Chain A
Amino acid sequence: MKYQVHLFGPLAEMACSGLVEVDWPERHECTAAELMQHLAMQYPEMGRRLGVGFLAVNCRRAAPEQQLQVTDELAVIGLVSGG
């Protein structure tokens, strides 16, 4: 399974892209927490920033245990800096 994940700000710069793919090797669909862990392994430089961020699923903050569908719109919301 492949999940597409939107990135913004410093996280997008680290990945050199605003959209990354996460390969999920398991047969079961992954949870929000699992996807964040997988991203941290795929992009170790993001580790600390991912730790303070959260995953948005279809524009809503996801609970760590939320199951993800490959059709979901996923976005990592790291440290924000508006205003």
Chain B
Amino acid sequence: MRIEAIIVAGPLKPADAWTIMGMGALVCFEGVVRPVEGGEPIDGLWYEDYAPMAVQELERLACAAVLQYGLLGISAEHSRGFVAVGNCSFRLRIVTEHREPALSAMSWYIDQMKQEVPIWKKAVRHSTLKQG
């Protein structure tokens, strides 16, 4: 069993290898900053979180997902601060014996996170960057 939750400054680095005894499925979702928000081009997103509650909530949801879906492992990573377009700002990896609970847990976790974890994002546009 492995449960991880972390918030790091800036874009997420590529994921390292993840192996857990008994695993039969590894599902990985990566959220990437889109070039357009609200119909307008952006340079990136600025993420603000309420630490340490944000990490506590990521962990709490991870534990709930383990119990609800029988996961072997779950890792949630989120960015803080500026993340430029095209970069990864959120990664969720789920390990199970079989495919279906991993896919269900993935959808459940992301839905819950978007409602409950105290993280906020704001579009950063070129004009904003110029103003400093």
* Interface residues, chain A, with chain B CB atoms under 8 Å away: 6, 8-10, 56, 59-60, 75, 77, 80-83
Q: Which residues of B contact A80 (CB under 8 A)?
A: 114-120
Distance of A8 from chain B, by nearest CB (Å): 6
Return chain B residues, CB-CB under 8 Å to A6. 50
Contact A82 B122, beta carbon cutoff 8 Å: no
Partner of B50, one of A10, A75, A81, A83: A75
Q: Does B113 contact A (CB under 8 A)?
A: yes
The CA of A80 and the CA of B116, in the complex, are separated in Å by 7
From residue B106, how far is it (CB to closest CB) to chain A in Å?
A: 12
Q: Within 8 Å CB of A56, what residues of B?
A: 50, 53, 118
Contact A82 B121 (CB under 8 A): yes
Shortest distance in angstroms between B73's beta carbon and chain A's nearest beta carbon? 20
CB contacts (< 8 Å) of A75 on chain B: these are 50, 53, 118
Contact mask for chain B residues 21-57; partner A; CB cutoff 8 A; 1 contact, 0 none: 0000000000100000000000000011110111010
B66 CB → nearest A CB, Å: 20
Do A82 and B114 touch across chains, with their CB atoms under 8 A apart?
yes
A59-B55 Cα distance, complex, nearest whole Å: 10
What is the CB-to-nearest-CB distance from A22 to chain B, in angstroms, rounded to a whole number? 18
How far does the alpha carbon of A74 sit from the alpha carbon of B96 in the complex, in Å? 38
Residue in B52, B56, B113 whose beta carbon sits within 8 Å of that of A82 in the complex: B113
